[in-house]
Amino acid sequence: MADIEDFGNIEVIFQDEEDKTAPRCPHGPTVLFEIKCKGEKNGRRFYACSACRDRKECNFFQWENEKVSEARLLAREQQNLSKMPPFSHAQYCARFREYASLPLDQRRFCVDCQILLLPGEWSGHSSHHMLSDITVSQLRRPSLLLCPLENKKSNAQYLFADRSCHFLLNVLSGLGFRKVLCVGTPRFHELIKMQSIDNKSDPIKSLLLDIDFRYSQFYGQDEFCHYNMFNHHFFNGEEAAKAFLDFLTEDGSKVVMVADPPFGGLVKLLGHTFSKISETWRKLQGAESSVSEMPMVWIFPYFFEPRILNCFPSFTMLDYQVDYDNHPLYKHGKSGRKQSPVRLFTNLCPKDIVLPKEEGYRFCSICERYVSAENKHCSICNACTSKNGKEWKHCPECGKCVKPCKYANFASLLQITVRYGFGVQYLNFNQLHWILTLYWFYLCFVLIDFAPVSVPQPGSTVPCVVTVHSQIISVGRRAVTAVETKGTSAEPVPAKARKSECISVHTGEITVDRCTRVATNKKTAYTAVSVTTVNSDRY
Ligand code: SAH
Ligand code: ZN
Ligand code: ZN
């Protein structure tokens, strides 16, 4: 998941008066970035779109100190206007009222234009794919009617599977929340709305904030705001911002924010926005409240944990796996081909969030939270350390628990084998070969001090245990090391890097590119391998 944050030398700059000075693109105020080249002290700053990382979608770019001509400013304004929805939210609401009063056979939806059509508009869409007889229950489930936006880079809409949606609602209503601020969670909003129809006595209210303005067709101004979560921008100005404030103040009941941002989004920008929301909420609480942070649930892949905790140190990542309906990989729940990497990050008390036993969760009384049943409590780390819900193993060398590896115990065997260059071709890990492998293991031990140091053949593929130390990949445990970058000569992994930055240990395959012998401490000379491909099951 490379994003701009990963480039290391591009950073987001937050300014106090950002909203006033930043130029605007069709997605609201742009964000100030700083790009630093190696060796430079001061980077160059530029403005770019907050929401789109793909230039094809929004190509806004301006150096911080750039003089922009009147003509260009005008053209920019025109462009921004032209990207506005065809109707205002108030107009959409009026259309909806009219639409709902039509007899069933006059209610059509244009699939091509993704719009509810009034009878007078049919002729303009005659060559389009239209659905007719749109029922009231269809109107209540816009997330089924609208096709999910499938733009990988910025606005991929991955809609919750019913199971995850219901789980979340049950948990939050069980905790006494009667208002949910849905940020980028249209399907969750929809479920809350539907439940409030069934449960009139104690309904939960919901306000959806989403950049997908198609939802304005279905919801009133107190139910939906056209909103950009990367810059906390309300497209309909004061009016929409007021709806947001009213929602937070209204009737004094407990409110929680649930956000499911696109996974490509910049964590820093999201964190900034959610802090602003929380801050607004805190100010509205008045002096009597001692709680300083708004209750929040941020739904995001587990490998963003460090960055999210960096924004919100009060958050905990829960083991609950969030499943999606229309995601090509993550839709089959815990038994699926690939399991969803998406988790809940929250400042709610973890022990209050009961994860269902029948879906494979248990309570850890030491950690005081529900964890995946396979997530074993490590007595050394004193925590249930697994991030992906599978059992993790404590690595004494790294001083922390790492991703599982079926063959972890054989790491030294493989290292020795790679080191001495024999037996490599037998190591293809199917059961029959284990016997042979174990035999080699034994031999290696016997021969260890006598065997000549030979090297793997260049071009051969070596199955191995790969330890990933951020940038550096080391093969085996100690002796053989490799550098991931193509073409660079092999370098031993510095002991420090090995200790501090180990991310995971797992099985994999390397293609031996070049082998050299390097001098070692004391007795044995060892082999360094430079590799071109590492084919492993890391995330
Ligand atoms: N799982 C959620 C949907 C998550 S998909 C559910 O089922 O309800 C991400 C959502 O964020 C989409 O609805 C998308 O329209 C919205 N989104 C994407 N970029 C956004 C932005 N810049 N500001 C606000 N919402 C955005
Ligand atoms: Zn534990
Ligand atoms: Zn451990």
Interval 354-402: pLDDT, tens: 999 999 999 999 999 999 999 999 999 999 999 988 888 888 877 888 8
pLDDT in tens, 499-518: 333 333 333 444 444 444 44
Q: What distance in Å separates the CA atoms of residue 201 and residue 66, rounded to the nearest whole number?
A: 58
> Which stretch of DSSP H or E encloses residue 319?
none
The answer, yes or no, to whether residue 497 has pLDDT greater than 80, is: no
Nearest to 300 by CA among 351, 354, 326, 263: 263
Residue bearing the CA closest to ligand 1, atom 13:
184
Look up residue 33 and give its two tokens: 């970035």
Q: Which residue has the higher pLDDT, 64 or 506?
A: 64
Is the CB of residue 484 below 6 angstroms from any atom belonging to ligand 1?
A: no
Is the CB of residue 330 below 6 angstroms from any atom belonging to ligand 1?
A: no
The answer, yes or no, to whether residue 308 has pLDDT greater than 90, is: yes
| Per-residue pLDDT at 90 | 96
Residue bearing the CA closest to ligand 1, atom 26:
211
Position 288 confidence tier, pLDDT thresholds 50, 70, 90: low
The answer, yes or no, to whether residue 122 has pLDDT greater than 80, is: yes
> Which ligand gives the minimal distance to the CA of 326?
1
pLDDT in tens, 76-96: 999 999 999 999 999 999 999
Q: What distance in Å separates the CA atoms of residue 175 and residue 33, rounded to the nearest whole number?
A: 40
Query: CA angle at residue 227 from 221 to 229, to 5 degrees?
Result: 145
Position 331 confidence tier, pLDDT thresholds 50, 70, 90: low
Q: Give the Å distance between the CA of 380 and the centre of ligand 3.
A: 5
pLDDT in tens, 202-233: 899 999 999 999 999 999 999 999 999 999 99
Comparing 152-156, 270-274, 282-286, the range with the smallest average pLDDT is: 152-156
Q: Give the Å distance between the CA of 361 and the centre of ligand 2.
A: 12
Is the CB of residue 325 below 6 angstroms from any atom belonging to ligand 1?
A: no
> Which ligand gives the minimal distance to the CA of 393?
3
| Per-residue pLDDT at 492 | 37
The answer, yes or no, to whether residue 336 has pLDDT greater than 90, is: no
Q: Which residue has the higher pLDDT, 197 or 451?
A: 197
342-346/316-318 β-pairing:
antiparallel
- Confidence (pTM): 0.76
Q: Which residue has the higher pLDDT, 285 or 437?
A: 285
> Which ligand gives the minimal distance to the CA of 362?
2
The pair phi, psi for residue 236, each rounded to 5°, is -95, 25
| Per-residue pLDDT at 399 | 84
Q: What integer is the mean pLDDT of 280-309?
A: 89
> Which stretch of DSSP H or E encloses residue 516?
strand 502-518
Q: Give the Å distance between the CA of 349 and the centre of ligand 3.
A: 23
Position 523 confidence tier, pLDDT thresholds 50, 70, 90: very low
